[in-house]
Structure 1
Amino acid sequence: MGADNSTQPPPFLDTPWRQINWKDKQSDLQYVKNYKPHIEGRQLRILLHGPVGAGKSSFINSVKSVLQGKMCAAALVHDMSQDYFTKKYTTYKIEKENPSTFYPFVFNDIMGLEPIKGVLVDDIKLALMGRVKEDYKFNPEHKLSDGDQYYNTEVNPNDEVQVLVCVIPADTVNLISKEVIRKIQEIREVASELGIPQVAVITRIDQACPEIQKDLKNAYKSTYLKEKMEQFSMEVGIPMNCIFHVKNYSEEINLNDDVDSLILSPLRHIIDFGEDFMNHKLSQSEGSHSYD
């Protein structure tokens, strides 16, 4: 007689455990297009970090593609033949319909996390605080220090990071070393001390599950991915409602509504979290001044 598998959970749920606007991506798209910070002249800065090859640059390109309605490649994508492909601190802006205007949020990609080398946690802390200047070349041996030409001594509020996004590949999540997980934990602690909201984006979900590759609408039905999300949430402390599945554009030459919907879901929440943080800092600042 065969083994009794009745107690094992099914690989896919009958109904998704999280709802996505599959049929109405336009509402999320319009929300992002209409977004304007309440504070005049401010922009949201979104910092991406994660293991090498996790899909940070691809996520930036995918966001730009969705918002511009065409395939775009602003950020150079990691070449697996090269170590630490992203080496400089680069700000990526996204043009609106008018080429001379941009969305009021920007992305920064940094050198990937590695067990021994990779970006230093101290440099990430400086970036979060707005201390890292554009084009700073990350050095896995030495941290950026005061007095360096790329150390920002006078911080403009727009230099500071409002949202920290950890990008993790679903298909190799089991292979992420304990040392990299420890670095992610350290980075989260630093961001938490600064009060910066944090989000995790799980990429390559189609590579982790054949059924999702067939139909992206299975993204939040997979019990395997849900278990991996729960495990990652426990390991690094990011709540489940701040972790999102995405499929970056990679081989496609045309846009796909389902891919767009998965990209827009975390983007909308990233904007909301960043806006709340920005307004909270302003209220704290005004509150402290009132006692002067």
Structure 2
Amino acid sequence: MNQTRHLWKPAEGIDCALKAMEVVSWVPWSNSEVQTFLCLVGQERIHRDLDGATRNEKTFREVSQLMAAHGYQRTSRQCRDKLKKMRSDYRTIKKNRERSGPNSLKHWKWFEQMDAIYGKRPVSIKMESGLDSTTAVLDPMMDNKCFSSCDGFSTTSHLVNGSDNKSAAAAMHASDLNLTHCEVYQVVVTPKEMTKIENPWRTLIWNPEKRTELMESIKTYKPTVSSVSQARVLFIGPVGAGKSSFFNSINSVFRGHVTSQAIAGYSSSSLTTQFRTYSVKAGREGKPLPIILCDTMGLEDSKGAGLDVDDISSILKGHMPDRYQFNPSEPLHPDASGYRKTPDLKEKIHCVSYILDATKVCIMPANLAEKLEAIRKKANLLGVPQLVVLTKVDEACPLVKENLTNIYRSVYIKEIMQEVSSKLGMPLSCIVPVRNYVEELDLDLNSDVLLLSAVIQMLRFADNYFDEISDQLGNLRTKE
């Protein structure tokens, strides 16, 4: 706890501070800012605190600090008002949907995320009640740091009204503004996103030699089944999670510069509309690597949109041809052009990689989680190994953004990975974090090491598939 003590002259100090207050214009919340905000308030501990406390200014203060750690400057009051407004909108829309049906009203972009947080539990109104008079006075004056420089007392400006703060000060001192002694206490809370453990919980070497070693391991990989020369890995994930960007990133590592072969970017709907199979070359004129990366249309939480779950079986079994145009309303039919009726083993999927956005794991809509569960079951029935590639870890955790080598020392990243493990029912060993190339023009050693390590895991999982096939063939020969 830090303690700062200042002595002011009677009346003059408070007047000086009030006159120095600056009125600033309101800045609207950006989509990425709201997304981060919902992810934070959706965390079980924070959500429990907000939902159960009558006066929860401390929790909103923590949310404000976490927002700042992500690069967004919002006061605790702004966070509280934002959540209050969003909860009110959510309740209104939910009631209207219950009366009129989900398709009869204009879509609210945050409904699914809010429903993931509040849909299965009653929305408490405790947090929306007014704070007591002392808190109401202290909030704008202390928590929001509304004083500007005066007699060596320097803090930041805040959206306030000077006359209102005079009234607040009068209320705090019973109309006696002859303040002679002021003590300011500041509790410093280290956000979880900035907390790291001393020893990494996974060991990874971050140097050029390791990158070269990983690249050589991928180049020289050979499937254990002689009829297959390239392992086929299928990418599945929500819209905007980074499936196409992941392929581009792997391709960039082996090309020696950032490339963008697959269509990638930001959109409310999937930019990938075809089933694509990509072969990565070792350099511009090099040979194809022994791995084929298969990209799909993005999953969406609403029915009749995005990748159809029924198409997954066709892809896994090798029936779907390259460049097949997805139709969300109608899955692939055996009579479709290019349909493979009797696919070879080399045309089947040997490993499934779920590509998930680390910044959105905690607010994954229920419908999307159900789709992923259905896909998991299909893959399990076919004996296809699966792992999760967690993207945008640098956006999720400031500690990782500061230095990517902190990835396995970050408490927050490990918690996100544990949440993925819980939601998908997959072991933590089946989850690997990466940082895609999305805005850089030059390669980064640490990003390359993470990306290549993820590919190595895919090849190891594909080996598990081939081993199972070999065992099955061996058993057949034994019976014969």
Do they fold alike, i.e. is TM over 0.5? yes
Contact 1:74/1:92, CA 8 A, preserved across alignment: no
Matches of 2:347 and 2:219, distance apart in 1: 22
Displacement over 6 Å in runs of 4+: 1-6
**Alignment counterpart, residue 257 of structure 1, candidates 433, 442, 445:** 445
Contact 2:314/2:320, CA 8 A, preserved across alignment: yes
Matches of 2:355 and 2:271, distance apart in 1: 15
Equivalent position of 1:30 in the other structure? 216
Structure 1 gaps, min length 5: none
The 5-angstrom pairing of residues 8-27 of structure 1 reads 11-23=195-207, 24-27=210-213
**Alignment counterpart, residue 245 of structure 2, candidates 27, 48, 58:** 58
1:111 aligns with 2:262: no
Q: Which amino acid aligns with 1:38?
A: T
Matches of 2:344 and 2:457, distance apart in 1: 24
Equivalent position of 2:314 in the other structure? 126
Q: Classify 1:98/1:278 alpha carbon distance in 2 versus 1 (closer, same or farther; 3 Å).
A: farther
Q: Which amino acid aligns with 2:206?
A: W
Task: Name the count of aligned residue pairs.
Answer: 290
Equivalent position of 1:193 in the other structure? 381
Q: Which amino acid aligns with 1:242?
A: C
- In proportion to residue count, which structure has more helix? 2
Equivalent position of 1:44 in the other structure? 231
1:270 aligns with 2:454: no
**Alignment counterpart, residue 285 of structure 1, candidates 473, 476, 479:** 473
Equivalent position of 2:255 in the other structure? 68
Give 1:41 deviation, angstroms: 4.5
TM-score by length of 1: 0.93
Q: Secondary structure at the match of 1:105?
A: strand
Deviation by residue 1:196-251 (Cα, 9 ceiling, x = unmatched): 11010100011111221110011111111111111110111121001011000111
Matches of 1:174 and 1:234, distance apart in 2: 11
Q: Which amino acid aligns with 2:272?
A: T
Root-mean-square deviation (Å): 2.1
Contact 2:256/2:283, CA 8 A, preserved across alignment: no
Matches of 1:98 and 1:276, distance apart in 2: 31
Give 1:98 deviation, angstroms: 7.2
Q: Which amino acid aligns with 1:234?
A: S
Give 1:14 deviation, angstroms: 1.6
Q: Find the structure with the greater CA-based Rg.
A: 2
Equivalent position of 1:159 in the other structure? 347
Q: Secondary structure at the match of 1:67?
A: helix
Matches of 1:100 and 1:3, distance apart in 2: 58
Contact 2:273/2:297, CA 8 A, preserved across alignment: yes
Q: Which amino acid aligns with 1:93?
A: S
Give 1:282 deviation, angstroms: 2.4
Q: Classify 1:233/1:27 alpha carbon distance in 2 versus 1 (closer, same or farther; 3 Å).
A: same
**Alignment counterpart, residue 272 of structure 2, candidates 73, 82, 86:** 86
Share of identical aligned residues, percent? 31
Equivalent position of 2:74 in the other structure? none
Q: Which has the higher contact order (CA 8 A, sep 6+)?
A: 1
Give 1:40 deviation, angstroms: 2.9
The 5-angstrom pairing of residues 226-265 of structure 1 reads 226-265=414-453
Q: Which amino acid aligns with 1:84?
A: S
Matches of 1:149 and 1:185, distance apart in 2: 30
Give 1:96 deviation, angstroms: 2.5
TM-score by length of 2: 0.57
